[in-house]
Structure 1
């Protein structure tokens, strides 16, 4: 990770703008990304960001579900706060360290969709719970249940847990009803644990009729939480049933959108990448969602872009850009060329036929069509495929308006 440098960080007479603080409108304070920001720099487009946050919150509400966005995508507390202000139930996270960081920035409810393993991690979580955090994690094995029960009993705390249901060939999670029964029985034997629901992740379902498989998985989650509620095993009046990554959230929402669940359960959707969306991987998923639901109003918009300069034109048809693996995600797809700003001018030019062909630590190779206009110093805007792998490369990103004027700096806490 590195510091992307805010527009003012190289000007000693002007302080770095803190998170949440807009740029002052004065001649001595530069504002425009293309003119004043040392590149490369990662930017979040404010209009698209606001649209995405509102769109997904409305989508969840329309399906009778709560929204707990997966915060690992951005690990940016200022974005968490925007999501919560829009109505999110909580923030989903993956690790105890992420949980502690979010809580330190004022997040009051965390759904950790991972097993809490190891006493140092348990201690981080216990400290946060003792300080008022409403925390949940998942379990899928008897040994982990016993370890958690002993640790939190010794701390005088009660830990809220969900049984995780896995898929064959996937990662964590109970594979069958017998495993679920064993875990539930183990939780019942631990007074320091409270079983509050069922959790799953459908993103590892591949092959065959994936749509049908995801729908069947959602039904399995619902039937499991119903069975546990009827058996009296759950310690929560409105038990949680939760799943949904960023690809199949519509199918999970459909599976959870039942009158009984709206009345007696807490369905929780947890997509993360939607907040900034992307230009390929999830753009394709959005197109599929729209094809399944042609009546769906609007769609998510890409909000994350990385700006860098052409640094060399070593041979015809090739440009080298000062951008590399340390600056932008490159899996599952290389950076997507979006626009060219000649010498940083505000009006962009089209880049039809331009494509990334190779990336190194600090260099990106572009293949250009014959006759392409380009010069050293031109600024290129790039899109991403899977935004998680770009956010974690930056300590600060820039929130910009439609004209690329910088409104705030957004600090990450990876």
Structure 2
């Protein structure tokens, strides 16, 4: 990545635009705040933080898991949209960064990511021409896109041909044939269609057939054996496309075909089904993105390295937390806090109450039980507890919440404080992560 662009993030000035930053710190740069190491108690609520120790643990955990199996990792950058974290993933051995669309690709390119997979079809002529210009300016770099229909390939060819009449003057755009499954998302629904797409790519002098890809997370949403078998059947179909293309000699001579699958929920099944492809010379690429942040909800329950591991390796740790303050106790058994849907993820489960921060100097954090987040409004959260027992919280109390679904957590924050130890009585802020959503 572009070291100068990353270093420049430290020069950004913190001000009123950055939710979670108090007026006392406005006017200071991110680099100054890193050096100052403020405590969490110096920041207002609501707040989202990341844990440095958990991030480091998760980076190492999946890097070693992939290395042990001969897999490559192209983590989905859309999870964090944080180039500083992408750099850490690449430094930990990631082969590429995955994105979902042109705006995300533009962020990756602005920060110098040299190998990017766009896990989507790109059919906008304006987008395709910009990508062609990027490759022309940086011929050593690689951009991969997906296609699941001959019509998609035709549109890509036409857009590139209109912009560059002579295809020999620019690097080719690499294309992965996307295999889908019944009831899933995008992707060719049968082998014949997938092979037709591959043939269309081969026929275009502007495109290069680079391999096969798909997304198994759309096939199932639970960790049980039946769900995993549905995923396995889909992955076998994906592998069949690769086998057919390899047997027919469709891949460019001397190239290493890419076979890509693996979100953050079923990479154990990817291991079971696709490892033989890695052993036989294909580049098997996982695109797991949520692993670096993990969570205390959906991924804690479904990840192969979650609370109920289904594969060997260190279990992942939740690296994100919400911090809120009780602002009202309008009736027995109920309290309101100062964060809502604008601040915290809610699409894969409500936040969970974990800790009460110290009320007074010298106090310590207290684990809270018997108190539940039942709903989120735009800017308010609802707590419920036994109305016939003493209230476990009072107005002014600050709580730590466990959160579910990293992909819809970080998109609500431009600057995310990174704390050294989220379990400390008053965690120290050691960094600020900039996101681009």
Normalised to the residue count of structure 2, the TM-score between the two structures is 0.87
Secondary structure of 1:264's aligned partner: coil
1:184-203 aligned at under 5 Å gives the runs 184-203=198-217
Distance 1:30 1:267 in 2: 41
Distance 2:251 2:37 in 1: 56
Distance 1:276 1:79 in 2: 10
Partner of 1:31: 38
Work out which of the residue numbers 382, 385, 393 in structure 1 matches 2:412: 393
Work out which of the residue numbers 57, 60, 64 in structure 1 matches 2:63: 57
4+ long deviations beyond 6 Å = 287-290
1:254-265 aligned at under 5 Å gives the runs 254-258=272-276, 261-265=278-282
Partner of 2:155: 147
Work out which of the residue numbers 340, 357, 360 in structure 2 matches 1:324: 340
Distance 1:148 1:39 in 2: 47
Secondary structure of 2:25's aligned partner: coil
Name the count of aligned residue pairs.
402
Distance 1:383 1:106 in 2: 33
Distance 1:412 1:124 in 2: 23
1:5-404 aligned at under 5 Å gives the runs 5-6=20-21, 9-12=23-26, 15-18=28-31, 23-24=34-35, 29=36, 31-33=38-40, 35-132=41-138, 133-153=141-161, 154-155=163-164, 156=167, 157=170, 158-206=172-220, 209-235=226-252, 237-258=255-276, 261-286=278-303, 293=310, 296-343=312-359, 347-369=364-386, 370-402=389-421, 403=424, 404=427
Kindly indicate whether structure 1 or structure 2 has the higher relative contact order, using CA contacts under 8 Å at least 6 residues apart. 1
Which 5+ residue runs of structure 1 have no aligned equivalent?
none
Secondary structure of 2:30's aligned partner: coil
Distance 2:70 2:87 in 1: 22
Q: Does the CA contact (< 8 Å) of 1:344 and 1:377 recur in 2?
A: no
Q: Does the CA contact (< 8 Å) of 1:100 and 1:128 recur in 2?
A: no
Tell me how far 1:106 sits from its aligned partner. 2.0
The 1:291–1:48 alpha-carbon spacing in structure 2 relative to 1, beyond 3 Å, is closer
Distance 2:20 2:305 in 1: 37
Bigger drift between 317-326 and 370-379 goes to: 370-379
